[in-house]
Amino acid sequence: MAQLDKRQIEQALEQVIFPGSDKSIVALGMVSEIFLADAKAYFSITVPAAKANELEPLRLAAEKATLTVPGIKAAVVALTANSRPGSSATAAAAKAPPAPQRPAPQQQGKAGVPGIGAIIAVASGKGGVGKSTTAVNLALGLQTLGLRVGVLDADIYGPSIPRLLGISGRPKQGEGRTIMPMENYGLRVMSMGFLVDEEAAMIWRGPMVQSALMQMLREVMWGDLDILVLDMPPGTGDVQLTIAQQVPLAGAVIVSTPQDLALIDARKGITMFRKVEVPLLGIVENMSYFVAPDTGKRYDIFGHGGAEAEAGRIGVPFLGAVPLTIAIREMSDAGTPITVNEPQGPQALAYQDIAQKVWTEISRGSGRTAPKIVFE
């Protein structure tokens, strides 16, 4: 296949005229930097905020024009609102005739994903608390209950699921615009880390990230899953709000370390999910304590019990405490999660117990019977 050139895409976009003007979206400076990865083009179109809701046909036209470029198999095009006065796009829109008034669409519920029984978010108020490691081992713990489980890496800027699960390579194209998920350890997985190089920096604006995330969720052939685990990015930004507002979450799991600083940020995540009416399945205290492998002496490096106390204070389940161990770190870096590598070890059993409690909470909300896990 010939080397793709961004200029070819720009030339194709020269044919896309902004409504009400005689200039293209390229000439008006509305097209962002174009990013190419595996025959797929990613870019955004900056449009006036007042016109954003009316310009979906423009986005579709840009997508269609991009697909005419030889070698381009798919395009992710997002609209980015811009309300700055004096911009060329704003000036063009000011000359455009008013759009015909249409009746407002009825408010619809959040659309589910066909074949997926429940979707949960694993979130944290800040980075560095082991959220992704928890998400992976929670997913594997749910699998030990006999459930069919998938993992979506929603951390677009810092995808770590491919490394944690030891998956490399590129996903295959399915029928139409769908993508086949990658698989390992029985989990079906999708991550932006499969589509770009590990060292590539994702320099995208918020709406573009949201668009890519929704495509990874809804345009992947997940098949039949009992539960899909979303590894959320840290914090309470656009991605979290997009997921909470557009995806029918069965609940959220909050991961925190015991220290006060982490708990302060965890409270923000809890508050956000409550405001958007997402059930809180519970809190996990990660790096709860450290046991020296040579002496067996326990050290509460980050304090201990802070997350459990916080769960009791706000009235949500405390799902469990996971110790800080060298084994979890080494196996995570090697792509062999401890729940797979040492399934009967104390750390794996802690994750499995958390998984049982999470599924019990989900089942309680849906009327399903939660299976019991048996350790032999």
Gap between the Cα atoms of 197 and 190, Å rounded: 15
> What pLDDT is attached to residue 281?
94
Amino acid symbol at 164: L
Q: Which two tokens stand for residue 16?
A: 């896309």
Q: What is the pLDDT of residue 357?
A: 94
Q: How many domains does the chain have?
A: 2
Predicted pLDDT at 242: 77
* 149, β-bridge pairs: 227
| Same domain, residue pair 22 and 149 | no
18 and 150 share a domain?
no
Residues 78 and 127 in one domain: no
Which token pair is 230?
A: 């979303």
Domain annotation covers residue 99:
no
Residue (of 185, 104, 86) closest to 144 by Cα position: 185
What residues does 152 pair with on adjacent strands? Answer: 190, 230
> Which residue ranges in the chain fall short of pLDDT 70?
1-3, 37-38, 49-50, 52-53, 80-109, 176-177, 197-206, 236, 260-262, 365-376
Residue keyed to tokens 């302060």:
264
- pTM for this one? 0.69
Same domain, 276 and 332: yes
Residue 34 shares a structural domain with residue 80: yes
Q: Would 98 be classed as within a structural domain?
A: no
**Residue 373, domain member (yes or no):** no
Contact residues for 225 (Cβ-Cβ < 8 A; gap 6+): 115, 116, 117, 148, 149, 150, 188
What is the DSSP annotation of 65-100?
Answer: HHTTSTT--EEEEEEEEE--TT-HHHHHHHHSPPPP
CATH number of the domain encompassing residue 48: 3.30.300.130
Residue 102 lies in a domain: no
298 SS3 class: strand
- Same domain? For 242 and 301 the reply is yes
Domain endpoint, select from 93, 128, 158: 93
CA distances from 189 to 136, 223, 302 (A): 10, 12, 32
The parent domain of residue 314 ranges over: 116-366
User: Does 21 lie in the same domain as 121?
Assistant: no
The pLDDT assigned to 358 comes to: 95
- Taking the alpha carbons at both ends of the chain, their separation in whole angstroms is 54
**Same domain assignment for residues 176 and 40:** no
Asked if 139 and 153 count as a contact pair (C-beta separation under 8 A), the reply is: no
Within a domain: 106: no
Quick: pLDDT tens for 250-261. Answer: 999 999 888 766
Residues 89 and 131 in one domain: no
Q: DSSP strand E in the chain: where?
A: 35-37, 40-48, 74-82, 116-123, 149-153, 182-184, 187-191, 225-231, 251-256, 280-285, 290-291, 298-299, 318-321
State the Cα–Cα distance between residues 72 and 66, nearest whole angstrom: 7
Q: Helices H, strands E: what count in the chain? A: 12, 13
**Most distant CA atoms of the chain, gap in Å:** 77
Which of these three, 93, 127, 144, is where a domain ends?
Answer: 93
Q: Which residue has the tokens 């086949």?
A: 180
Same domain flag for 305 and 234: yes
Structure confidence by residue, pLDDT tens digits, 196-242: 766 666 656 667 777 778 888 888 999 999 999 999 988 767 777 77
What single string gives the DSSP state of each residue in 205-265? -HHHHHHHHHHHHHSB---SEEEEEEEPPSSSSHHHHHHHHHS--SEEEEEE-SSHHHHHH
Residue 22 covered by a domain = yes
Alpha carbons within 13 angstroms on the beta-carbon side of residue 67 total: 12
- pLDDT for position 239: 76
CATH number, residue 245? 3.40.50.300
**Do 124 and 251 fall into the same domain?**
yes
How many CA atoms, within 13 angstroms, populate the side-chain half-sphere of residue 102? Answer: 6
The pLDDT assigned to 81 comes to 57
Same domain, 61 and 177: no
